[in-house]
Each structure stands twice: as structure tokens, then as C-alpha cells.
Amino acid sequence: MGIFSVAAYSSAYSSASGSAGWQNLGASYSDPHLDCPLGITPATTRGENPEVWNALSLEMAKRVDKIYWLCVRDGCDVSFPDEIFDKVIVMRGEEVDVCNDFGGVGGHTLQSSAMHLLATMHGYSEDATQIMILEQDTALDPLVEWTAEDWDSFDAASADKEWKMIRLGYRPLSYEMNGDHVCEGQCMCTVATSKSCYLGGTGCDLRAADAYVVHSRFFGQYIDAFQGPDALTRKRALRLTTACSNTPWIATSS
């Protein structure tokens, strides 16, 4: 089972963060949070990386203006193909933590969420229309293929709806743990093409924030959802949209 979604969700989540860095995060869509010369940099290494960049992901990347690679340490030292190299911004988590005084803030979950927020803020500041966000453990399914006709259908379907988010993968954890395999109403999809569908409502708990595309029409709402002491985690914030999903999924978290 798999999905390649364009999502819109709504949720409320309260986090107990006492850090000045976290409380101020998102107050501005530009400086000072994006002023991090060692943490937010253009890609530096060209080369193939077939685990992440195959024909399907490269074709999707043609449809975005910026690609944000969220990583830490060795996970940042990867290659990017020529086709997408100039779009890539590498975001080094350990350096971003230092720049923004995130050390000790809410543990991994909130620090990771801050990276997703900053990527979106950067896209906003660069006047991007669509951005792709990938975590370093993203892995593409080599068995999933789309034809030219599949892409034509997808482009037509996405042009027909004001989508907010495209999800390259998902993991319906509560569905898996439930055991009864009954699809909840908010997760019912309306067929858009032979390989995609739309989630018309909000609140479907798809999880998996490792690979997705965000449209500029959602930037403000997405950024605002992450702000201040009542910020959402990235997984909960991903419930804030109306979604177009493609099946089967093309990305998983390795």
C-alpha cells in the first residue's frame, strides 16, 4: 500500500518549551533564524544518488523551485545529480541548532520540527512557488514507475485543485496498530487519476514527514502552525491540509 499525497490538515498540539530560541522561532519569516552560514548552504557535491534520486523523484523535482535536504553530520555529505543540483539547499541540523539556540529544546522531535519550519521559511523568503523537503533517511522505491501519461494525468489533476502539499510517502501508524484495517472517514480518498487521489478533509493521521512538497499557498499557514510555545510537531502539522495522494507511495524512511 502506498501514497504520494497533496495534503491539508488541522490539529492542535501544545509543547512545553522554555527556550528563547524556540519561542521566537517563526516570528519572522527571514532573519535571524535563517542567518546560519554553516547550517543552511547550497549543495556542494555533484553525483548520482540512486537511493534517493531516480526517474520518478527527479521528474517530481522538476516541478519545484527549491529542494531542502534536512540532515545531520555524515547524512549531509551526499551527492546530488546535475538535474537538481542548483535547487538544493542543505540544512545541517547540528549547525542550525547552534545558530538558533535550539540546544536542549524539547528533544529530537521539536528540533527536527524546527528544521521543517526553517526550510519552509527559507522557501518563503526566496519567493518559491513549490518546495520539496527531504530528510536524510528518505529512500525511493525502485519498483514504482510512472509513464509519461501518468505524469500528464497528475499535472492535470493538480492543476484542477488548489492543493497545498504533495506527500511522496506516508505511514498510517494508527491504522496499522488498530488491527481492524477499517479506513476512517477523514482518510477516504477521491480518485483523481489511476495513480493519485485527493484527501478532501483534514485530520488524517498519515505520519511520515520524511519526503513531501509544499505549495506557497500553504506556506503561511504551515509556518504559523510551528510558531511559539504552542508549536505543533512536524507530524501533527502535516495534518493541516487538503490532499492529493498518489498510489503506490514512492518514498519511505529507511
Q: Using CA of residue 221, residue 37, residue 138, residue 234, what is the dihedral sign?
A: negative
Mean pLDDT of 16-21: 38
Is 8-253 a domain of CATH 3.40.449? no
How far is residue 93 CA from its own chain's centroid? 15
**Phi/psi of residue 85, nearest 5 degrees:** -50, -45
Residue 109 has pLDDT above 70, yes or no: no
Q: Which residue has the higher pLDDT, 228 or 98?
A: 98
Q: What is the pLDDT of residues 122-173, one digit of tens each?
A: 999 999 999 999 999 888 888 888 999 999 999 998 898 888 888 887 766 6
Where is average pLDDT lowest: 97-111, 133-147, 188-202?
Answer: 97-111
Which residue reads 510558531 in cell numbers? 227
Mean pLDDT of 69-94: 96
Assess contact for 234 and 209: CB atoms under 8 A. yes
Q: What grid cell was written down for 249?
A: 507511495
Mean of all residue pLDDT scores within the chain: 77
**Domain boundaries in the chain?**
8-253
Q: Annotate 180-226 with three-state secondary structure.
A: CCCCCHHHCEEEEECCEEEECCCCCCCCCCCEEEEEHHHHHHHHHHH
Q: Which residue has the higher pLDDT, 120 or 190?
A: 120
Mean pLDDT of 222-228: 71
The full DSSP string for the chain is ----B--EE----------HHHHHTTSSSBTBTT--TTTEEE---B---TTT--HHHHHHHTT-SEEEEEE-GGGG---B-TTTGGGEEEEEHHHHHHHHT-TTSSHHHHHHHHHHHHHHHHHHHTT-SEEEEEETTEEE-TT----HHHHHHHHHHHHHTT--EEES----HHHHHHSS-PPPGGGPEEEEETTEEEE-SS-------SEEEEEHHHHHHHHHHH-STTPPPHHHHTTEE-EEEESS--EEE-
Q: What is the pLDDT of residue 63?
A: 95
**Phi/psi of residue 245, nearest 5 degrees:** -120, 145
Q: What is the pLDDT of residues 197-224, one digit of tens each?
A: 887 677 777 766 678 899 999 888 887 7
Spatial distance between the Cα atoms of 165 and 116, rounded to a whole number of angstroms: 13
